A and B are shown apart, each in its own frame.
Chain A
Amino acid sequence: MKKHFLPAAAAALALVLGASGCQDTVNTMENRDLAMNPDSVDTRAFSTDSFCRDRLALISMRRSTTPGGVMMVQAQIRSERYGFWSEMWSGMTGTNPYHVLYRFDWMDQNGMAVSTAANAWQPLIFAPGEVKFIQGVAPNSRCKDFILSVREDPSAR
């Protein structure tokens, strides 16, 4: 029993060390005293993909008006796929880095969706722990409401 235990323990240790050595996370830092005064957006989320929901965290959603007089929104999203088990699993399943697609749909004051070139799905690639900013610009000044859709990119697997 002892004869088999030692090689198995050594192999397990090597596997753990090897897997942890594969971690390629993003580490961030920011100034503590923030000077910005953002206009935050209350969001209402409808999630059908529990994997995508658990793997990405919405940190903030802000809005502003551009020099062109149209509304711009910005979502700050962080990949939650860091840590030993999460990274090992994503490495084994070929989903590290994490590929997602996002799209903004805009509605006018009557609630009618306005179709534009900007409705296209846009790709986004997250390293574990990475924070990214998704920005969407309204197609015209009459559009004030939006829907941000995020989904996993199956073509990247």
Chain B
Amino acid sequence: MIKRVLTILPAAVIAVLALSGCAAGAHYIEPGGPDALVTVSAVDPGEWRRVAGQAAQSLVASGALKRTDGMEPVVMIGRVRNYTLIHLEMGLLTNQLRQAILKSGQARVSSAVGYGGNLDRAVRRVRDNENDDLFNQATVLKRGTVVAPNFSLAGMVIQQNTVSGRTEESYYMFHLTLTDLRTGIAVWEKNIDFAKQATRPLL
């Protein structure tokens, strides 16, 4: 009996140690870094950062934010349409583009008009207090002070899935456009695409 226990015990200890070694506790990783998960079925955090980075670089390099009519360039962040089969939080892209435009010093970004989280409704709401006797009317912001945008940044995301045998592939293409709102003409466009592939195990 003792001999049998002595035989089984080391094996059990090794098995327990090996299994506990497979677990990973919660830890920080760099968003979009080498340790981040890469999936075929979604746009991963690293890809949002890459798309935003490439778009920001292209926009800043292009000089499209310079105006020849003497007006100060002000960009409205419009809608990035999702033509994929999955839910995408476009704020992950537009928030980074807003910051990149601001940091470039080439233009300012409007929060008075825009789409989704890029619109701050407070700009309009505070002016609705102009007839409210609760407020000191001298402190209520007047109408006619908000700067209107003269550029609009919008776009779309397209996805195409293909499967061949056990291999699945997803292709995503982001298309972004900067439109001069005075003329309605696109002054900058950028396509950013990437494809991911995974093969399911045989068993």
Chain A residues engaging chain B, CB cutoff 8 angstroms = 66-70, 72, 101, 114, 116-123, 135-142, 151, 153-155
Complex Cα distance, B166 from A3, in Å, reads 43
Complex Cα distance, B63 from A84, in Å, reads 47
- Count B-side interface residues using an 8 Å CB cutoff: 32
Could you write out 20 A-B pairs with CB less than 8 Å apart? Answer: A66-B61, A68-B62, A68-B66, A68-B104, A68-B106, A69-B106, A114-B103, A117-B55, A117-B97, A118-B53, A118-B54, A120-B32, A120-B49, A120-B50, A120-B53, A121-B32, A123-B50, A136-B57, A139-B56, A139-B103
Residues of the B chain whose Cβ atoms lie less than 8 Å from the Cβ of A117: 49, 52-53, 55-56, 96-97, 99-100
Question: Does B61 contact A122, Cβ atoms closer than 8 Å?
Answer: no
Complex Cα distance, B60 from A140, in Å, reads 8
Residues of the A chain whose Cβ atoms lie less than 8 Å from the Cβ of B56: 116-118, 139
B34 at the interface (CB under 8 A from A): yes
Complex Cα distance, B64 from A66, in Å, reads 11
Residues of the A chain whose Cβ atoms lie less than 8 Å from the Cβ of B46: 120-121
Complex Cα distance, B32 from A154, in Å, reads 13
B156 at the interface (CB under 8 A from A): no
Q: List the 9 shortest-distance A-B pairs measured between CB atoms, nearest first.
A: A67-B63, A120-B49, A66-B61, A117-B96, A137-B57, A118-B53, A68-B63, A117-B52, A120-B53
A120-B46, A139-B103 as given contacts; A101 in contact with B61, CB under 8 Å: no
Residues of the B chain whose Cβ atoms lie less than 8 Å from the Cβ of A140: 60, 103-106
Residues of the A chain whose Cβ atoms lie less than 8 Å from the Cβ of B105: 140-142
The chain A residue sitting closest to B56, CB to CB, is A117
Complex Cα distance, B64 from A118, in Å, reads 18
B33 at the interface (CB under 8 A from A): yes
* Main SS at interface, chain B: helix
B113 at the interface (CB under 8 A from A): no
Complex Cα distance, B66 from A68, in Å, reads 8
Complex Cα distance, B59 from A139, in Å, reads 10
Residues of the A chain whose Cβ atoms lie less than 8 Å from the Cβ of B96: 117
Choose from B32, B60, B99 the contact partner of A70 (Cβ within 8 Å). B60
Report A140 CB to chain B, min CB distance, Å. Answer: 5
B178 at the interface (CB under 8 A from A): no
Report A107 CB to chain B, min CB distance, Å. Answer: 14
A121-B32, A140-B103, A153-B34 as given contacts; A116 in contact with B53, CB under 8 Å: yes
Residues of the A chain whose Cβ atoms lie less than 8 Å from the Cβ of B35: 154-155
A68-B65, A141-B105 as given contacts; A119 in contact with B60, CB under 8 Å: no
B 91-139 contacts with A by CB, 8 A? 96-97, 99-100, 103-106
Report A2 CB to chain B, min CB distance, Å. Answer: 42
Question: Does B104 contact A151, Cβ atoms closer than 8 Å?
Answer: no
Given A136-B57, A140-B103; 17 other pairs, CB 8 A cutoff: A66-B60, A67-B61, A69-B106, A70-B60, A114-B103, A116-B99, A116-B103, A118-B53, A120-B49, A120-B52, A121-B46, A121-B49, A135-B57, A139-B60, A139-B100, A154-B35, A155-B35
Complex Cα distance, B60 from A135, in Å, reads 13
A136-B57, A139-B104 as given contacts; A69 in contact with B63, CB under 8 Å: yes
